[in-house]
Structure 1
Amino acid sequence: MVVMEESLRTMTRVFRRECHRVLDSERTTIQGADGMLMVLQLAVAGVNKQEYGDFGVALSEVLAAWKYFLLDKLQLSHNDIPLPQNYDLIRKEYDCFLKRTNTVDLIDVFIMFKELRINEDPEEPLTAMQLFQFLIGEKESLEKVESLPVCPATPSNKAGICSPQIQRVVRRVFCSYLGLLVNSKNDIALAYTLDNPNRSLGHIAFTDLRHAACTNASSLFLTVTSFVRAIQLGGKGYAPPESHPLRKHIKGLSEFLNFVDQCQDVLGETPNPREAGSKLVSSIRAALVKGRSGGDPVYFAAEDTAKSFKERISQIHTMQTQSAVGTGISPARPKAYAINHCTAYGGRETVKVLMALLDEEALVPPCRNKAELLSEDHAVLNGSAGACLLTMYKSPEAPTGSSPKSLRNRVSSQQEHIKSKVVRPTIRSQFACTYKDDELPLNRVLEFPSASQLPTCVHPAPKRTISLHASVEEECDSTEMDNRLKETTNLRCEGPGQSALGEHSGNAWNRAGGKGTRPEQLGRATGTSKRKLANRECADQGKEENQPPQKRPPAKAPVGGLGKRNSKPASKKLIAGQGKLTGFFRL
């Protein structure tokens, strides 16, 4: 294992010395084994989003693609391993993510080492199969398993040992803050530092930031910087509008940027790399332990990580000082068109020390528990259960229009809504179908969705025809019915199976005798009742026309008149059968 570590360090040292020959940026950072696996998880989830519309991936799918990906990129035999689905898209998405974040992985370093090495460098420090075994974690030395320091036993820390997950996450947060100072395009580093410590920049804030960065085609850190600076310095004419999605996160984004600015000031204003590194690590530790008690596991992990980083920065600075001058060109060297060369050179030595420290962290053996790394990481500091990098990159659920409540809650809320309606006490009568009713019974509402479509009579009665051969009794009944129709205002046509309804108490205008009857209520009478009235009126008119004219009473002769008039009128000639028919209808 010691030989493996020394070979990886030699390979990385040669790459860092000659990387300016093949890379556009000299501040390119290296992704270690765990970082490569997390980037692959994001790549597979992104391809699933494009193909199936769901940004997510199973752990087994990531592990299967991980092994095939390592063998394929190292150009080793992978015939016995099935080809992952959409592998070409996954590989393309992985490479684009590394290029967009200005990072490379250990396999890229291994491949470029052969091109960048010079004569005095070792020919090949390790083989492709050895690198594969290191990345997959098959041959880890038992002496170097989780060589993390042990926390002191205290009453609040009864176990006496800090969780390896807490140690790993806290150490990654330290490296992410230092990595942002070296490479501000590293989006994964910003994802681990944006809400650590808590700045109220959770999942929604990170999603809004990613969407804004995608719209502007820039990195996450540059998007934060440009947005906050536009608000602080732009004024009303240049500041983003109030409808900008990042406006609601301005407080947390300002706190994050102010902290990074403080670290940048320390980096540029402190000439001694050892002192500058110590101040940076102390600032990060103070931010993480702020508001935490002395017995908090995160507090112990931050204290121990800060102590080890300070010692390692001091050792790296000593080695770089004692090394021969002229072994390479410094990263962050000023360009010919740099306006202020002093500013360009500021913090150059400190950046070299930080890059060497980050390279060593990239050579750490991979995490054994892949499930913990991919599904439960990033949760020990911000307190959100089950949070991980994949959860941070997954957009929140968009509303689909359906109720988010369960069926039981929706039914109970509907019942409470029905009970909340005030039902007025009603008194119905047999003529209730003609009354105005705003609140219909539930069964009628379900049967007829619109109140304007309610029929006045469900089962209309057949028309009653008046025959010429009707009896005298029926004629009397019709006469009595005419009188009753004059007293009542409306009739109710009841179908089979329907009971008469009572009178509505709210209809105060329905009085006995039909006083105060509204005109529109008369128009609501049933169609059958209107037809009955019309038929009977027509029948009455027909009978008056068919009956012979009534005899006038004899006029009284005036007293003392001159003569007597003939009181018997002249007989009128009837047609055949008219007298018999007329006598038939007489009482």
Structure 2
Amino acid sequence: MEVSGDHLKLMVKTFRRECHRIIQSERTTIHGADGMLMVLQLAMAQVNKQQGGEFKVALSDVLMAWKQLLLDKLHLPPPNFACLENYDLILEAYESFLKRSNTVDLVDIFSMYKQLRVDSDPEELVSSVQLFQFLSGRTEASELQESTVPSTPSSKSRSCSSQVKMAVRRVFFSYLSLLVNSKNDMALTLTLDVPTRTLGRQAFTDIKHAAQNNNTSLFLAVTSFVRAIQLGGKGYAPTQSDPLRKHIKGLSDFVQFLDNLEEILGEISDPSVCGVRLVATIRAALVKGRSNGDAVYTAAEETAQELKERICQLHQIQKQTANGSMIGISPARPKAYAVNHATAYGGRDTVKVLMALLDEEALTPPCRNKADLLSEDQPVLSGAEGTCLLTLFRSPEVVTGCSPEPLTKRIQSRLDLLKPKVRERVIRSQFACTYKDEDELPLNRVLDFPSTSQVPTCVHPAPKFKTTPVVDEECTSDMEPTDTAKPSLKSPNKEQSRVQQGATLGPGSGNAQNRDAGPSSRKEPGIKTQNKANKRKQVESDQYGGSENEPPQKKQPTSVSVKMPAKNVSKASNKKKLITGQAKLTSFFRV
């Protein structure tokens, strides 16, 4: 006796009506036979990976585990073949995936119906054997034989078109499922890169790791990252080393598309109009850039038209049921367990229609060819990679073109990258305190800088002569009036200007010898005593005359006798011989 579709629908309706008694979330979605088989394949591949193998599983092993899983959950006699080695781990991984995704399978619905039914409901709609026959398809042997027979070109083209239509239909329902249950990881996996958003296996692997680290769903890992980038600001934005930063463009496009669907769901109150608008938006995204003769374009057109008609029919059925059951009850007071209770009213009726549509899809008969469903050779809808769950959940292999660097070198390179860079100190002149840079000089550096009266203003002072004429103190006092008077007779204008220039400069000149002069030389009015540098200037003017470019003249003997050794005089006269124009340059650099 075959199971009736009406009996299964009544069982699911009873679950929807009373599920708030045992399930926390009302938006729990149901996995059909195909969905259960795909989840089982992922669980087996995960267990194989944990046991030290690869993230792979053979098709024959999946079919054996599928039969054993159905018999075990339906409490039927065990199979006649040997049990799988890691069946307990596989069952645990399978149940964990369903719980994490906020989903249940048809076997769970069958088990909960006995607890949720009321007195008016029939005691048993479907038996365990009938449900087992429905889920298994009763054609496993013939399917395996068909998969081994080589296909002709005509049959291959038909199977290819049916695969594309099945994949396109799955994408439509995955988008609608995300609007009802955002925790459905399988729905996000099938829609992440369809249409193409340059989010391949590496992007999905990074999202999966982020979700595992934060113990969240894939959808929440994607949306939280994009929201933090858009609205978090500099303080709350993810770090530059976050792997998801490499996929900002694709993830932003995906979240933006879902936001558009959520906006349609919240703004349009009529479920029929809203559902038609949602299906049209998904269809436009799938057929964008495709021609009329493309297989994906044709499958999207047919699926969109079918879903629009079914949404309108479901809305009319729910509207009639609500009018008959809500007599004497105020519609302004929804039940405590109603969808979106105590939140925005927009989209509540549309979500109910979408949930009924998803439940009907879960009750469809299983795929006749398990190889087409579980094979990694899925039709390409995104233009980059297939939509097979096993391929996406498998982490990409490391490129073996070159051997990786040793661990010590990688750690050292990472530490060098995180180490703050030391800014090189620039050699500055003595006027560095007047520069304006980003990092200002400390106050003690500015205050400790000596004034111009304490240090010479010239960076390179005039060289000192090793031998200087020795003059007695008595002769110096007698010679001062004569020395000052003699140059005034020869060239009074030039010598007077030089004396006045030296007097104006005073102790502020760049010569270190001026500072040796005691305070007595500054206190006396007039210039009576001169330092050694001024005397040297007078000697040069007496020797070469008033003009620097004129040939030197013989010095006339004076009445004052100077005690000086002959050798020292000859050496000093030899050193004081200057070339033409050198005296002017020397006086310029001294100032």
TM band (smaller chain): 0.5 to 0.7
- 8 Å contact kept, 1:133–1:139: no
Matches within 5 A, 1:26-105: 26-105=26-105
SS at match of 1:30: strand
In the TM superposition, what is the alpha-carbon distance from 1:267 to its structure 2 partner? Answer: 0.6
Counterpart for residue 10 of structure 1? 10
2:314 is aligned with 1:308: no
Matches within 5 A, 1:399-438: none
In the TM superposition, what is the alpha-carbon distance from 1:85 to its structure 2 partner? Answer: 1.3
SS at match of 2:77: coil
Matches within 5 A, 1:277-356: 277-323=275-321, 324-326=324-326, 332-335=338-341, 338=342, 341=343, 343=344, 345-356=345-356
| Coordinate RMSD, CA, aligned | 2.4
Residue in structure 1 matching 2:256, options 245, 255, 258? 258
Letter in 2 for 1:109: I
CA pair 19-56 structure 1, distance change in 2 beyond 3 A:
same
Counterpart for residue 359 of structure 1? 359
Counterpart for residue 390 of structure 1? 390
1:398 and 1:162 mapped to 2: Cα distance?
A: 32
2:300 and 2:257 mapped to 1: Cα distance?
A: 17
Greater shift, 56-65 or 322-331, is seen at 322-331
CA pair 377-6 structure 1, distance change in 2 beyond 3 A:
farther
1:389 and 1:162 mapped to 2: Cα distance?
A: 18
Counterpart for residue 121 of structure 1? 121
CA pair 321-360 structure 1, distance change in 2 beyond 3 A:
same
SS at match of 1:163: helix
Greater shift, 50-59 or 230-239, is seen at 50-59
- 8 Å contact kept, 2:376–2:391: no
CA pair 170-80 structure 1, distance change in 2 beyond 3 A:
same
SS at match of 2:325: coil
- 8 Å contact kept, 2:47–2:89: yes
Counterpart for residue 244 of structure 2? 246
2:159 and 2:210 mapped to 1: Cα distance?
A: 42
1:255 and 1:306 mapped to 2: Cα distance?
A: 22
CA pair 369-79 structure 1, distance change in 2 beyond 3 A:
closer
Q: Residue deviations 1:160-194, cap 9 Å, x none?
A: 99811111110110000000000000000000110
2:18 and 2:284 mapped to 1: Cα distance?
A: 36
- 8 Å contact kept, 1:191–1:389: yes
Matches within 5 A, 1:360-375: 360-375=360-375
Letter in 2 for 1:333: V
- 8 Å contact kept, 1:55–1:394: yes
Matches within 5 A, 1:162-311: 163-311=161-309
TM-score computed with the length of structure 2 as normaliser: 0.62
SS at match of 1:364: coil
2:117 and 2:325 mapped to 1: Cα distance?
A: 19
In the TM superposition, what is the alpha-carbon distance from 1:379 to its structure 2 partner? Answer: 3.1
Counterpart for residue 20 of structure 2? 20
SS at match of 1:246: helix
Structure 1: state its 5+ residue gaps: 141-158, 405-587
2:33 and 2:236 mapped to 1: Cα distance?
A: 43
Letter in 2 for 1:237: G
2:383 and 2:338 mapped to 1: Cα distance?
A: 37
CA pair 265-2 structure 1, distance change in 2 beyond 3 A:
farther
1:202 and 1:376 mapped to 2: Cα distance?
A: 15
Letter in 2 for 1:103: T
2:266 and 2:356 mapped to 1: Cα distance?
A: 18
Structure 2: state its 5+ residue gaps: 141-156, 328-333, 405-591
Greater shift, 233-242 or 195-204, is seen at 233-242
1:329 and 1:167 mapped to 2: Cα distance?
A: 40
- 8 Å contact kept, 2:2–2:130: no
Letter in 1 for 2:208: R
CA pair 2-92 structure 1, distance change in 2 beyond 3 A:
closer
CA pair 330-391 structure 1, distance change in 2 beyond 3 A:
farther
Counterpart for residue 522 of structure 1? none
Counterpart for residue 150 of structure 2? none
1:57 and 1:161 mapped to 2: Cα distance?
A: 23
Greater shift, 378-387 or 15-24, is seen at 378-387
CA pair 288-211 structure 1, distance change in 2 beyond 3 A:
same
CA pair 380-234 structure 1, distance change in 2 beyond 3 A:
same
1:331 and 1:177 mapped to 2: Cα distance?
A: 25
Q: Residue deviations 1:418-458, cap 9 Å, x none?
A: xxxxxxxxxxxxxxxxxxxxxxxxxxxxxxxxxxxxxxxxx
In the TM superposition, what is the alpha-carbon distance from 1:125 to its structure 2 partner? Answer: 1.1
Where has structure 1 moved over 4 Å in runs of 4 or more? 159-162, 326-332, 384-387, 399-404
Query: Which structure has more helix as a fraction of its residues?
Result: 2
In the TM superposition, what is the alpha-carbon distance from 1:219 to its structure 2 partner? Answer: 0.5
2:319 and 2:349 mapped to 1: Cα distance?
A: 10
- 8 Å contact kept, 2:200–2:385: no
2:338 and 2:272 mapped to 1: Cα distance?
A: 18
Letter in 1 for 2:280: S
Greater shift, 267-276 or 371-380, is seen at 371-380
2:209 and 2:229 mapped to 1: Cα distance?
A: 19
CA pair 136-377 structure 1, distance change in 2 beyond 3 A:
farther
Letter in 1 for 2:380: V
TM-score computed with the length of structure 1 as normaliser: 0.62
In the TM superposition, what is the alpha-carbon distance from 1:376 to its structure 2 partner? Answer: 3.6
In the TM superposition, what is the alpha-carbon distance from 1:380 to its structure 2 partner? Answer: 2.9
- 8 Å contact kept, 2:14–2:116: yes
Q: Residue deviations 1:267-314, cap 9 Å, x none?
A: 111110000000000000000000000110100100010000000000
Counterpart for residue 565 of structure 2? none
CA pair 399-53 structure 1, distance change in 2 beyond 3 A:
farther
SS at match of 1:318: helix
SS at match of 2:104: strand
SS at match of 2:4: helix
CA pair 231-92 structure 1, distance change in 2 beyond 3 A:
same
- 8 Å contact kept, 1:298–1:381: yes
CA pair 133-3 structure 1, distance change in 2 beyond 3 A:
closer
Identity among equivalent pairs (%) = 62
- 8 Å contact kept, 2:376–2:390: no
1:348 and 1:331 mapped to 2: Cα distance?
A: 12
- 8 Å contact kept, 1:375–1:387: no
SS at match of 1:56: coil
1:354 and 1:375 mapped to 2: Cα distance?
A: 29
1:381 and 1:310 mapped to 2: Cα distance?
A: 22
CA pair 233-253 structure 1, distance change in 2 beyond 3 A:
same
In the TM superposition, what is the alpha-carbon distance from 1:383 to its structure 2 partner? Answer: 3.7
Number of equivalences: 382
Q: Residue deviations 1:208-258, cap 9 Å, x none?
A: 000011111111111111100100011111110111100010000000000
CA pair 384-258 structure 1, distance change in 2 beyond 3 A:
closer
In the TM superposition, what is the alpha-carbon distance from 1:124 to its structure 2 partner? Answer: 1.0
Counterpart for residue 150 of structure 1? none
